[in-house]
Chains A and B, each alone.
Chain A
Amino acid sequence: MTSNEPRTQLSGPTRVVQNERTACRVIGGKAVVITIDHNQVHVLNGVGTRVWELADGRPLDAIVDAIVDEFEVERAQAALDVCQFAERLVAIGAARVEGERPE
């Protein structure tokens, strides 16, 4: 990765898990997530839904492996996207980094 490429704060070994303070259903192949504390609804697209489903505390590297297995994408690109997306999930309160206390 060069210095001009986007960086993420989360990395492959980081373990991200769905926040228990959410409600969720997959409707029409897309996850609808309600963050109870923020009382907000987020609709994930198809790939986001898959990442969400896999966010059970396994390392992000393992999620990347699964995404690469299921989609036509280069691993480096998938790693960047998954880490960025996991950051967004944590930022909106839909997920948390394993080992960190929930809000």
Chain B
Amino acid sequence: MKSLGSSSPVAASPASASPVPEVAAPAPYRSKRSAALVIEGRAAAAGVPFSAMLEIADRCNEACIHCYQVQGQKGELETEQWERVMRELAELGVMFLTFSGGEATLRKDFLHLVAYARRLRFAVRIFTNGLNVDAAMAAELGRQSVQEVQISLYSHRAELHDRVTRVPGSFERVVAAAQHLRAASVKVLLKSPLMSLNAPEYGEYVAFVTSLGCDYTLDPKLNPRENGDPAPTALSIDRRSYLALRRDTRFATPPVRRERSLDAPPCSACRGNVHVEPNGELRPCTQWSIPTGHVLAGDLRDTWYGDATARRIRGLTWNDLPGCRVCDLRPHCQRCFADAERAVGDALAPYARACQNALWKYEAELGVQPELDSPSGLCDSQPVGPFRQAGEHRFIVESVAPLEPAAPGALLSGPARPSGPPPDPSQPPLSRPTLSQSLVSLRRHAGGPSLTPPPLRRRGDSAEPDGQVRPRVGTTVA
């Protein structure tokens, strides 16, 4: 007869990106994996998404000069429809739920939806501009045990913040919102993209945010508008500002990855996070405007695992990127399918912004600016890879033959997809951009992902798959 044994030590694991102590490790060692990564890993192993982003509002009460969103054209789901979405996400195994917009707090049912999510035991985060977060709302978010509220704050100077938001007085309201939330014991993260306007003052920004008792994050990337307008990227920081940020010891950077498997996915699109637009359309991520189903077109589980476009995207690896797969700067690259599609009309092709960023990242991490040789002998101000290493810190720019276009509709003619319920005829047909069809239809991994819905756990089953009782009752962190 097996004994349940004694309780194991309790593993205290910060839910944010802090180090996680490993129970099994010798005392002085701590895992460098964050708890979020632990959960992500477990969810991936079980074949389930671990987070969801619900853009519940298609409107905003600011008009930020750099914003990538185009609002007021999608429409919004009703309260009961969002409730259904959350129930199905919970059944799918999603743990982290983020409410975003537009401006999520503009919905009259915002607090109701937060409370509903908490009843379903989600860890809830909220992205907001803070304008509507008064003392009463902050107190309610505290009562609902919201895990974190992230507020956009673009400068420690009121004049500059208000210039970015184009709403006079918005700085004062953001600061008040942060203070209300902190008073209600809600964790607050203030965040900003780094722009040419605010980058020179980021040190003062960090000091100001810290003085408010808040965390902060600064993002050097600006995105084009979702309608393709590249205007926001004109505010991007230059190389000098980028290198200054990356070399600042206050910002921990992950170690340089010398290897990056060709079989690894280039990004997490359609993998761990379920992204839902205000009108219920599913997308691969925040940036990529290609539909991968609709939350109301049948069961969400079937759509998540069965949508043909999502399956193609989920199966993409570096090996499917004709230029990038041979690039020797790949370990430093943070390319984005959406950016590539907007920049060069091919989500899988190299494009200037990613290549420039890889060069900057190489320089930041290795401390040496790489030399580039072009076969033509011409110096390109915005070189596009692939880059082949020709010596120490020296690379040759290689040209890649253009892709042949795919046959129309080829995306949907791949290997058999799992059977799912037919689309709801009451819903409008989902448009699929022809361009994006061709982008993902050519590829070697068109067979889709290995992810399959996990078997549902039944009450009454033994706690372990082999029917054996584990020797310990307790908490562990993998």
Using a CB–CB distance below 8 Å, which chain A residues touch chain B?
6, 20-30, 32, 34, 36-51, 67, 70-74, 77-78, 81-82, 84-85, 87-88, 91-92
Interface 0/1 of B129-152, CB less than 8 Å to A: 000000000000000011100000
- B158 at the A interface (CB under 8 A): no
Residue in A32, A39, A46, A87 whose beta carbon sits within 8 Å of that of B463 in the complex: A46
- B6:A81 contact, CB within 8 angstroms: yes
Question: Do B38 and A47 touch across chains, with their CB atoms under 8 A apart?
Answer: no
**Contact string against A for B residues 457-478, beta-carbon threshold 8 Å, 1 for contact and 0 otherwise:** 1001011110001101111111
Query: What chain A residues lie within 8 Å of B464 (beta carbons)?
Result: 29, 46
CB of B187 within 8 Å of the partner chain: yes
Nearest B residue to A18, CB-CB: B121
CB-based contact A77/B10 at 8 Å:
no
Interface residues of B, dominant DSSP: loop
Q: Which 5 A-B pairs have the closest CB atoms?
A: A46-B463, A23-B123, A41-B35, A81-B4, A28-B46
Q: Who on chain A is nearest to B121 by CB? A: A24
Other 7 A-B pairs with CB < 8 A, given A23-B122, A78-B4: A23-B123, A27-B93, A27-B95, A37-B145, A41-B13, A82-B4, A84-B6
> Complex formed: what's the CA distance from A74 to B2 in Å?
9
B residues near A39, Cβ cutoff 8 Å: 14-16, 147, 187
What are 7 of the A-B contact pairs (CB < 8 Å)? A26-B93, A30-B42, A44-B474, A51-B473, A73-B469, A87-B7, A88-B475
B454 proximal to A (CB < 8 A): yes
Q: Is B234 engaged at the interface, CB distance under 8 Å to the other chain?
A: no
Using CB atoms, name the residue of chain B closest to A102. B145
Task: Note all chain B residues with C-beta closer than 8 A to A28.
Answer: 42, 45-46, 454
Q: Are A43 and B121 in contact (CB under 8 A)?
A: no
* B interface size (C-beta, 8 A): 56
**B113 within 8 Å of A by Cβ?**
no
Contact B469–A42 (Cβ < 8 Å): no
> Any chain A CB within 8 A of the CB of B43?
yes
Does the CB pair A43–B463 fall under 8 Å?
no
Q: Is the CB of A25 within 8 A of B463?
A: no
Q: Would A32 and B39 be within 8 Å (CB), given that A42-B10, A73-B4 are in contact? A: yes
Given contacts A41-B15, A48-B474, contact A29 B35 (CB under 8 A): no
Assembled-state Cα–Cα distance A40/B454 (Å): 26
Shortest Cβ distance from A24 into chain B, in angstroms? Answer: 5
CB distance from A94 to the nearest CB of B (A): 8
A46 to B124, CA, bound (A): 25
Interchain CA distance A85-B16 in the complex, whole Å: 25
Check if A23 sits within 8 Å of B147, measured CB to CB: yes
B463 and A81 contacting across the interface, CB-CB below 8 Å: no
B15 touches A92 (CB 8 A): no
Contact B475 A42, beta carbon cutoff 8 Å: yes
Residue contact A72 to B469, C-beta cutoff 8 Å = yes
Contact residue among A24, A47, A77, A88 (Cβ-Cβ distance under 8 Å from B470):
A47
Given A28-B45, A42-B13, A71-B4, the answer on whether A21 and B145 have CB atoms closer than 8 Å is: yes
- B264 located at the interface, meaning its Cβ lies under 8 Å from any Cβ of chain A in the complex: no
A44 and B12 form a contact (CB under 8 A): no
